[in-house]
Structure 1
Amino acid sequence: MSHFRFPRSFALPAVLLAAALPATACGGHGAAAGRDPGSAPATTATAGAHVTVSPAAERKDVAPGAPVRVGVTGGTLAAVTVTPDGKASDGVTPVEVTGALDAARHTWTSDRTMTPGTAYTVEVTAEDGAGHRTRTTSTFTTAAAALVNGVTPTPLNHAVVGVGLPVSLAFDRPVAAADRPAVERALHITTSPAVPGSWGWLTDPTTGVQRVDWRPDAYWTPGTTVTLTARLSGVGTGGGRYLRRDIHDTFRIGTARISYADLRRHTLRVTEGGRTVKTLRISAGRPEYPTWNGRMVVMDKQSTVRMTSASVGIATSQDSADFYDEDVKDAVRITTSGTFVHAAPWNARVMGISNASHGCIGMDTADARWFFDRATRGDLVITSGSTRATVDEGNGYGEWNLSIGQWRALSALG
């Protein structure tokens, strides 16, 4: 297994993974002179073991990114737990707070953020030199999030996907540049077998949606199992806006299906496992509306899609020769800007002869149905021979058009 850094998401069981925001100092009240004002001394039955907990007991305004620290003098720490008491103030299921002991077992420090608006209980078991144990309990509450952010992960629900699909998290609102490193540190990818790759930050030029994607260095190998663990509850995204839920999901890589569209020869060669299974006659974008060049990834497919010239900024007037408003069959989307592979019976006479579309890749009805039935999210469609530029890396999953070095440069962690 390999471990790589990386809603509607899910609460996770406690696991020891590093994820923390810059800490906000926790003030206290009623602290004795010379003592950490953010700590609460524990009252123990054994004089030799003295426990302190930060944040201080009964604090009501603890920043979700603040660290929880437990210390002991005159003994060692045997166990520390930090658990939520019920739901968060906004109804979200809170996360447990994980952490680690130092080698001497004198301090315990949390290693992740906490759910906003949540009451937490710290339970500490300490042991003195004579072997006497004592238990200490302290409670505090994290500040509620005045503003929240959401994230949509892809893929989900134990999906089986094609070899080109990255792990992708799309944010409801952009993450500020200063907060992207903390978000990225909260993201983890585990693969079997081991696969090298990296996170990169993108903005879709059509929708304006910001994403952080994990792309392997090369296309996935069929049969690979991929697990996403995103410890995002309590991570700030800028402007006082917080993420509220963790995410955990696993998916698997299926058939290596890659299709090559030669726009000069007007063919689409479909391969599976490196073997050509069929070559289809196509008609792509005509000179005024050329199809994108480059590597594109199947995003989804629909048996019928209403396509209009107005939706892609071509023509709004019905008097225009370029106006269209059609229910298009067997449509496989490969960009967010509106590029599909679909049935185009109106261009049947030019299939395999010339390019006559408004930018999509069209084929006759029977071929379109064959392609549609096989297409899976994550399959690759690679086009060449167009006069248009290479598709933008944020337009759908266009990041395969970047070199490994270019892709890794988009990580917030350098």
Structure 2
Amino acid sequence: MSQIRILRSRGLALPAVLLAVVLGAAACGGHDGGTSDDRGGAPGKGASAAPAGARVNVTPAAHRTGVAPGAPVTVAVTGGTLAAVTVTPDGPASDGVSPVAVTGALDQARHTWTSDRTMTPGTSYTVKVTAADAAGHRTQTTSTFATAAAARVNGVTPTPLNHAVVGVGLPVSLAFDKPVVDRAAVERALRITTSPPVQGSWGWLTDPTTGIQRVDWRPDNYWKPGTTVTLTARLSGIDTGGGRYLRRDIHDTFRIGTARISYADLRAHTLRVTENGRTVKTFKISAGRPAYPTWNGRMVVMEKQSTVRMTSASVAIATSKDSADFYDEDVKDAVRITTSGTFVHAAPWNAAVMGVSNASHGCIGMDTADARWFFDRATRGDLVITSGSTRATVDKGNGYGEWNLSVDQWRALSALG
């Protein structure tokens, strides 16, 4: 049997991080220059000027509002060098989101500082600059500006999260509430770090069942057990297209657990479970009947539930109770492996044909005790590889079907080439 369940969640609200870039020190023998210009008059409200020997210019200008979240912040000095620059939010964004601090870097001469990321929409920012003139006199300049609020927003749901332990087949995945037009801008804001080092690539997919667009990072080969993976997504303030902004950064670390890979032979009607390369169990199964064959190919455990209501109407098989294909069942020990509704689950009604023939509507059914063993063992990210079906290979976006692509095919799906 099969059923469609679509899980959605909203983006994470992450706490703001105040980051300072310390870029040098004043020469010895100097003194603090204060926060006013004793050579050229008092600065205006919200900003203070450096002495004439070291003049600081901040862009966006002081008190400016409606600044585009993707606009660069630059700090330039004449008659001196920059010692430190910070760009920090003054409080929550206008929609209550925790805003991000803005990072950046100096040029080699320490005359210009330029931001290297986007800003949170609807946020007031304060720029604090420490500069020094040729004589070592230090001064501080403060300026404020505010970014424009996002008229439209886009949400993102990351997988996995919360320091999870997952199987060797689970990619890093970011699913978007609305389609992303500027994929390159999003992809440039993403970073994966691993220990030990792992080669891989981002790729863009659309789930054929739900229409949800996502970008996944898949390693070239299955993860190795014990690998630690960290996702850093500096997404706050990125325009995904047409003025639809992302508002939150994402940062999380997870770990790869047991290499659990199961092989379903739909001709032999068996499911062989391996762990770290060793066969631990082989079960008799009954998969999709000729009219409703099971997908071929490599699929990944997405979730599991002790009880799932499965109906023939939900997968457009039969809506009338008079149909021989009608069903409406509470199915036990259900492990989902595709978005379109393929599960490995208990199927006691097919007990007589387990190991003999395929009689389901597309799922992989097992004896009640065998299904309980598989359910208890299954972890998100485990692989289930099926062969011997008359059906096509599962689509790359149907669940985590990207493992059916070669490394070159997968890398071609990156927006950055």
CA contact (8 A) 1:11 1:247 kept: no
Residue aligned with 2:178, SS: coil
Q: 1:345 aligns with which of 325, 345, 348?
A: 348
Match of 2:226 among 223, 228, 253: 223
Q: CA deviation at 1:202?
A: 0.3
Q: CA deviation at 1:214?
A: 0.4
Q: Partner of 2:82 in structure 1?
A: 77
How does 1:230-269 map onto structure 2 within 5 Å?
230-269=233-272
**Deviation by residue 1:34-76 (Cα, 9 ceiling, x = unmatched):** xxxxxx9975452211111100111111000000000011100
Question: Is the aligned partner of 1:8 residue 2:12?
Answer: yes
| Superposition deviation, residue 8 in structure 1 | 1.7
1:340-375 per-residue CA deviation (whole Å, 9 max, x = no partner) reads 000000000000000000000001101000100000
- For 1:68, the equivalent position in structure 2 comes to 73
1:177-326 aligned within 5 A: 179-326=182-329
Task: Please name the residue that 2:57 is paired with.
Answer: 52
Provide the C-alpha distance between the structure 1 equivalents of 2:195 and 2:48, rounded to a whole number of angstroms. Answer: 48
Structure 2 distance, partners of 1:15, 1:187, is 19
Q: Distance in 1 between matches of 2:349 and 2:48?
A: 82
Distance between the aligned counterparts of 2:231 and 2:20, measured in 1? 15
TM-score (structure 1 length as normaliser): 0.91
Gaps of 5+ in 1: 1-6, 18-39
Work out whether 1:146 is the aligned partner of 2:133.
no
Supply the AA of the counterpart residue of 2:213: Q
- Number of aligned residues: 384
Q: CA deviation at 1:11?
A: 3.4
Residue 91, structure 1, aligned to residue 96, structure 2 = yes
Opposite residue 389 of structure 1, the aligned amino acid is A
Q: Say yes or no: does 1:111 pair with 2:130.
A: no
Match of 1:130 among 110, 130, 135: 135
How far apart, CA to CA, are the structure 1 residues paired with 2:158 and 2:46? 42
Cα distance 1:344–1:48, how it changes in 2: closer, same or farther (>3 A)? same
Shift of 1:299: 0.2
Post-superposition Cα deviations, 1:69-92, rounded to whole Å, max 9, x if no partner, equal: 000111000000001001111111
Shift of 1:160: 0.4
Cα shift at 1:9: 3.9
Amino acid at match of 1:10: L
Q: Point out where structure 2 has 5 or more consecutive residues left out of the alignment.
A: 1-10, 22-44
| Partner residue of 1:168 out of 143, 168, 173 | 173
For residue 203 of structure 2, give the secondary structure of its aligned residue in structure 1.
strand
Conservation of the 8 A alpha-carbon contact between 2:19 and 2:101: no
Give CA-to-partner distance per residue, 1:159-206, whole Å, 9 cap, x none.
100000000000011101xx1101001111111100010000000000
Change beyond 3 A, Cα 1:270–1:225: same
Alpha-carbon distance in 1 for matches of 2:342, 2:56: 62
Report the Cα distance in structure 1 between the residues aligned to 2:405 and 2:18, rounded to whole angstroms. 36
The CA deviation at 1:158 is: 0.6
Q: What is the root-mean-square deviation in Å for CA atoms of aligned residues? A: 1.5
Amino acid aligned to 1:375: A
Identity of aligned residues (%): 85
**1:343-382 paired onto structure 2 within 5 Å:** 343-382=346-385
Q: Aligned equivalents of 1:182 and 1:226: distance in 2?
A: 22
